[in-house]
Structure 1
C-alpha cells in the first residue's frame, strides 16, 4: 500500500458580523489558508471529502481508462483521496492499494492521472464544496498549479501485517504416567508455562475444574498439549473416584 501526500490550500470566507452581532453573510474576498491553518479543521474537511467520495468510496481508479495503460489498471486496486495531518500541516493523502508493484514508467503514468483528477476531475468538484467552519466557510484545493508535487510513502496495509504465529503445542505422554487427573493437569500446565503460554495454561485449568468426568478433563488437556488422545475421542466415562486415584 502506498500513500501519496500532496499540499493543500484553502480559501476562507469569514462571516460578516456587524457591531450588533447580526450575520450579514460572508465577505467577498477570501483569506488564503495554508495546510497549517487548515489543520485545525481537519475533521470538518475529512467529512467533506467523504461526502465527495460518495457511495463508491472515492476510488479514483474506477475512472481510469484501461486503454491508457492496461497494466496499471490490472495492478492498482484503488486510489482513494483523504486528508491527514503531518507535523502540524494538513495534507492531501491518496491511499493507493496495489496487487503488485509498479514499474517506474507505470508510477509516473499513475501520478499524472491523479494530478489530472485533482486539477480537472475529483478535485475540481471538491473545491466548489463550501465547508462550514466556526466563523465562516472554507473551500479546499487539492490542486495548486504552482506548488504541487506528490510525496510517495510505502506503508503496510492491515491485510499485509502478519499475525504472530500460534505457539506449537508441547507434547506430553499419558500412557505409563501417573493417572491422577490433578497430577496430569499440573504437568500440562507446567509445560504450557515453559512454552510461553501462560494464558492457555490458566484457561485449561479453569476448564478442567469445570469438567464433569475424567475423560472430559483429559480431552480438554489434550486440546492444549499434544497427547495420545489429541486425535481421538474418548468413549468410556470415568467416575469422580477414578479421577482422584
Structure 2
C-alpha cells in the first residue's frame, strides 16, 4: 500500500467507524426485536394450546350432550315438537330469525324484494328481522295478498291477509321448513325419519313410507251459454272463480264407484314404480292468486324421482285430454248465469306443474288484481 492509499484510508477511517457503530446498534435492536418476537410466539403458542384444549373439551361436551339428547329425548316427529325445539334454541342460534327466512326463501324461490317492489322501494324491509320478512314471504307463497293502487300513482301497494295455517298444504310447508332449519343448525340427528310411519296389521308392527300429498296444477277453460243457441262466453281461470261450487259438484258427479279408493290411478298402466308410489289421484279445483286452477290431488307413499313425476304429469294430461276430462267437458253444469262447460285441457298453452313451480313462475311475473266418449 502506497502513501497515497494510506492517507486515503486514514481520512475514511472515522466515517467507517461511524457506519460500523450504526450497524452494531441496528444489529442489537434486531436481536432485541427477535427475542421479543420469540417470547410473543411462545405466549401465542401457549394461548393456542389452551384454546385448542378448550375447543376439544367443547367438542366432547357437545358430543356428550348430543348423545344424551338421543338417549333421553324422543325424536322430533311432529311439527309442534320441531317448532318448540326451534323456539328453545333460536335465542342463541337464530335470534333474529334470518335462518328461518332464508330457508323459506330457498324453498319457495320467491324474491321478496321484486315481488313487493313498491314496498321495497320505500325501504319497508330494511329494518325487518327474519320473522317479519317470513310473514311477507308466506303471504306471497299462499296468495294472501290484496293489491291497492296508490293514489295519484301507477304503483300498487300490498295489503296482507292472514294465511290460513290450517290447510294441509300450509302444514306440509311449515313442517318442511322447520325440518330444514333444524338440520341447518346441526340438529338433524334429533329429527325422526321423515319417510316412515308405523302401524299394526294382524298384531304385527309394520313400517311403510310416510304418505304425503302432491298437488299438480293446470289451467281451466270455460264456455258459458247464457241463453240457448247463443254464442258462448269464453272464460279463463279468473272468470271461473265464481263457479267453484258448480265445477266441484261436477267433479263429484263424475266419480265412479271403482274410483273411490284410487281415483284416476284406477286406470294407470304405466311404470310399476309410479303405480306403487302413487296411492291415488283425485280431481279438485283451487283458487291461487285470484285464478281458479284444476288440481290433481295425489297421495304419495314415497318421494317421486324427476322421471316418475314427469310420467305422473303425462298420465294426468292424458286423462284430461282423452279420458276423464273428455267426459267432463261434454256435460254442462247449471249455474245462475247459464249453462257452463268446463275443459281441463286445451291443445295450446296448456301446462301442468307443482304448487312450488306455479308460485315460483308467478313470483317472477306478479299478476295484477282483476276481477266424446269416456275412455277410462
What range is the shorter-chain TM-score in?
Answer: 0.5 to 0.7
How far off its partner does 1:148 sit? Answer: 1.0
How far apart are the structure 1 equivalents of 2:251 and 2:300?
22
1:148 match: 350
RCO comparison, higher one (Cα < 8 Å, 6+): 1
How far apart are the structure 1 equivalents of 2:253 and 2:291?
22
1:85 match: 287
How far off its partner does 1:89 sit? Answer: 0.9
1:40 match: 242
How far off its partner does 1:145 sit? Answer: 1.2
1:61 match: 265
Which 4+ residue blocks in structure 1 deviate beyond 3 angstroms?
none
Task: Give unpaired runs (5+ residues) of structure 1.
Answer: 16-25, 155-245
SS in 1 for 2:255: helix
How far apart are the structure 1 equivalents of 2:307 and 2:277?
13
Decide which of 232, 247, 253 is 1:51's aligned counterpart: 253
Higher helix share: 2
RMSD of the TM alignment (CA)?
1.4
2:339 match: 137
Deviation sequence 1:75-99 (CA, Å, 0-9, x none): 1000111111112211101100111
How far off its partner does 1:45 sit? Answer: 1.0
How far apart are the structure 2 equivalents of 1:109 and 1:127?
24
How far off its partner does 1:32 sit? Answer: 0.6
**2:322 counterpart of 1:120:** yes
Task: Give unpaired runs (5+ residues) of structure 2.
Answer: 1-212, 357-376
Higher strand share: 1
How far apart are the structure 1 equivalents of 2:221 and 2:250?
15
Q: Which entry has the higher C-alpha Rg, 1 or 2?
A: 2
SS in 2 for 1:35: coil
1:108 match: 310
After TM superposition, the score normalised by the length of structure 2 is 0.37
How far apart are the structure 2 equivalents of 1:151 and 1:63?
21
In the comparison of the two structures, how many residue pairs are matched? 142
Decide which of 3, 8, 12 is 2:224's aligned counterpart: 12
How far apart are the structure 2 equivalents of 1:86 and 1:50?
21
How far apart are the structure 2 equivalents of 1:34 and 1:14?
16
2:298 match: 96
